[in-house]
Chains A and B, each alone.
Chain A
């Protein structure tokens, strides 16, 4: 990387040897990060590499456990959000931190509302003040509209306008396009081009290669909390970049015997969910584990929810063993033999104040555990649950333990277990291992492998390429709402997966 002595006085953000620890995790390990005046600096890395943590440290939402940070030549130690904002640093979050009941104008000017002599907010002036900032980024959002009435895409644009009110000289954007539609993405890029012309320094976090190469001057790659390198964008080929992000490939050990893949049992044709995803078609065989990968906002969950009837769909045909299914709500899907283990298990998959036993038998009570469709066969229920607890190695003192008292991993196993008792034919798992420790993950993999062995079809949705690579037989890759690539897992590498997940195009050289 050479010694860029002459560049030193241009460095406006200088983080040296930053470390940050969370319970059980090293989020950042002695990371050096330098940004030069007026450049657009991409920060890339896989999920959990530490990008957002580093940005939150720059914005003083977190304080570092070790290391030093200088912004515009000033030591930022002990500063709060307000002080760094005054230094001219603004952060545009992944999360839409807006006040839903306030108007667009009010959200844009939040914290800097103009007041009249009585100390009352001057709503007219507030609106005038907000107008030019919003106009920078969008021309079709009504300043008087409540934020809760806007689409996700529009809300994200409002957060951009809000960042501008502080007249930033340094702008951090954390995956800004994940929530944006095509038109708004264009608007954002135009805006960022104008920012560059004005000499504003930009730090840009993204999972999309195309954006990085279109917008950025230099790149810093993080991997597992460590910095891998910083380099000018044009000196780094796309495949090269992906290789740095992945690092040495560690094949995960997943106990998986020879899969016996059978006939097509389930097929989806031209499925159009209400939002995000478009024109999804694929087949699923019995005994097969089919992975679906893609970054946040690629539309994976939308596909799952549309298949399951949890969200309405615009159009599309779903067939089970050749027979067309009419799925209007989850009940129809369950009756047809489809099970969905949702992403947010506490919210969507678990009655947290009820016992493990009741949670586990809930979806199949009527089908398997009721006499005359009314009285619960308690003995049969208890036997089945006791067997599941043993099979899945649930860490619980008793089947009567309340679900909310269990660890995250055990909760997830209960959610999976309850669908296993329902004897479904198709299982859809949406990020089943998110936030779960290693041991718990392995038990879940084993449950899934066993399902497939018994002839069920499994759809496995995940952000974590390692586990998809090791667990699945075949993988579909989604980018921007579309299926862009299908790969057979034993013939692919993580590099290849990541390349397509980040929107790499086929005509680029194939990665090795």
Chain B
């Protein structure tokens, strides 16, 4: 009997969130016949893109036991830089290149401070967020510009289709597959997880733990650069502080995701599910004309649920301490 209860606990801990997600889909589709239309599904996926991409970068960094909040400011700053470049007539290729380069440079600076100088990643990246907000205002003067007035070509990156699927969806799912395979199948990906679990184990077998850590910050920065690019193109212009909403949602998606599939551990399928969950709720509630202020309320309830699930899981392992 104990064994049975144990298995049931395990099942709920690993798949509870997925069940809740499926339940939400069923409820929404019964509530509104438009919900499951292919057009609406595409809508949800496209809306999730920048959140999903950002959350993948964050997952990678949280997996190794660190945190990086810089994306909240980086996205807006990259938007400002992009508009400057587009207005000056730079080619789409060079714009994309610069966005990604800024992201990597940001990751490198964070790596130097956190790994090299042993500063707290929370404080460093919180400061980076403020700095990027300041730079955004400095570069863009806080003015909103729309891209279509200057260059329509670059917008095709997010407005086009590749086969049956819109490009943003391909970017998100492609990055998901890449991250997932990298983390679960390659040595480096596994070492990143090991860093978060027990860094001494990594050092003891002669691996260069600091280099791995620094490299992961740079990779995270690259993904955050991509987030800035996609978000700016999706909005179609540079909006003041455009990355700020990502702060809470990306953290939320990663946490929510840690309650799925491998309960209590950050993992990429979980993060994808978490990100989709947020936008599914927004979409489903909006379709049914639910007042906007109920949306965060429902999302909050789901976060509580996620925490409850991971707590159940942890309860199995933890011993009584006083």
Contact = CB atoms under 8 A, between A and B. Distances in A.
A137 to B, nearest CB: 17
Nearest to A309: B322
Given A113-B190, A120-B185, A121-B187, A97 B201 contact: yes
B204 interface: yes
Given A95-B200, A330-B322, A80 B185 contact: no
Contacts of B201: 97-99, 107, 110
Interface in A146-175: 148, 162
A232 to B, nearest CB: 32
B162 interface: no
A98 B190 contact: no
A26 B205 CA distance: 28
A102 interface: yes
A82 B204 CA distance: 9
B197 interface: yes
Given A113-B187, A119-B186, A99 B194 contact: yes
Interface string B195-213: 0011011111111100000
A367 to B, nearest CB: 17
A81 B187 CA distance: 19
Nearest to A83: B206
Contacts of A99: 193-194, 197-198, 201-202
B194 A162 contact: no
A384 interface: no
Contact of A85 (B187, B206, B322): B206
B321 A97 contact: no
A100 interface: yes
A396 to B, nearest CB: 25
Interface string B214-246: 000000000000000000000000000000000
A101 interface: yes
Given A81-B206, A97-B201, A99-B197, A348 B321 contact: yes
Per DSSP, are chain B's interface residues mostly helix, strand or loop, or mixed? helix
Contacts of A330: 322
Interface in A81-103: 81-82, 85, 91, 93, 95, 97-102
Contact of A97 (B198, B265, B317): B198
Nearest to B197: A99
Contacts of A121: 185-187, 190
Given A97-B198, A100-B197, A111 B320 contact: no
Nearest to B194: A99
A102 B197 CA distance: 9
B20 interface: no
A118 B187 CA distance: 12
A378 B169 CA distance: 62
Contacts of B197: 99-102
A453 to B, nearest CB: 28
B181 interface: yes
Contact of B320 (A91, A120, A162, A310): A310
Most chain-A CB neighbours within 10 Å: which of B194, B265, B320? Answer: B194
Nearest to B198: A99
Contact of A100 (B181, B198, B321): B198
Interface residues of B, number: 24
A162 B186 CA distance: 20
Contact of B194 (A110, A120, A311): A110
Given A99-B197, A99-B198, A121-B187, A111 B322 contact: no
A81 B186 contact: no
Nearest to B207: A111
A93 B204 contact: yes
A348 B186 contact: no
Interface string B248-278: 0000000000000000010000000000000
Contacts of B265: 101
A347 B321 CA distance: 10
A329 interface: yes
A80 B209 CA distance: 12
B181 A120 contact: yes
Contacts of A120: 181, 185-186
A115 interface: yes
Nearest to A148: B317
Interface string B159-193: 00000000000000000000001000111001001
B205 A110 contact: yes
A110 to B, nearest CB: 5
A327 to B, nearest CB: 12
B194 A102 contact: yes
Interface in B83-135: none
A343 B99 CA distance: 52
B187 A80 contact: no
Interface string A226-249: 000000000000000000000000
Contacts of A20: none
A332 to B, nearest CB: 11
A173 to B, nearest CB: 14
B207 to A, nearest CB: 5
A106 B190 CA distance: 10
A299 B321 CA distance: 18
Most chain-A CB neighbours within 10 Å: which of B187, B194, B265, B322? Answer: B322
A99 B208 CA distance: 16
Interface string A97-131: 11111100011001111010011110000000000
Most chain-B CB neighbours within 10 Å: which of A99, A107, A330? Answer: A99
Interface string B26-58: 000000000000000000000000000000000
A147 B205 CA distance: 17
Interface string A39-83: 000000000000000000000010000000000000000001110
Contacts of A98: 198, 201
Contacts of A107: 201
Interface string A280-312: 000000000000000000000000000000110
Contacts of A93: 204
A93 B201 CA distance: 10
B10 to A, nearest CB: 13
Nearest to B204: A97
Contact of B205 (A100, A111, A348): A111
A397 B317 CA distance: 40
A101 B193 contact: yes
Contacts of B206: 80-82, 85, 111
Contacts of A80: 206
A81 B200 CA distance: 12
Interface string B289-322: 0000000000000000000000000000101111
Contacts of B185: 118, 120-121
A81 B321 CA distance: 36
A81 B320 contact: no
Contacts of B204: 81, 91, 93, 97
B322 A310 contact: yes
A80 B204 CA distance: 11
B75 to A, nearest CB: 31
Cβ-closest 8 pairs across A and B: A82-B206, A111-B205, A120-B185, A81-B206, A97-B200, A330-B322, A97-B201, A99-B194
Interface of B: 181, 185-187, 190, 193-194, 197-198, 200-208, 265, 317, 319-322
6 contacts: A82-B206, A85-B206, A97-B201, A113-B190, A119-B186, A329-B322
Given A98-B198, A99-B193, A110-B201, 12 more contacts: A81-B204, A82-B206, A82-B207, A85-B206, A101-B197, A102-B197, A110-B202, A113-B187, A120-B181, A121-B186, A311-B319, A329-B320
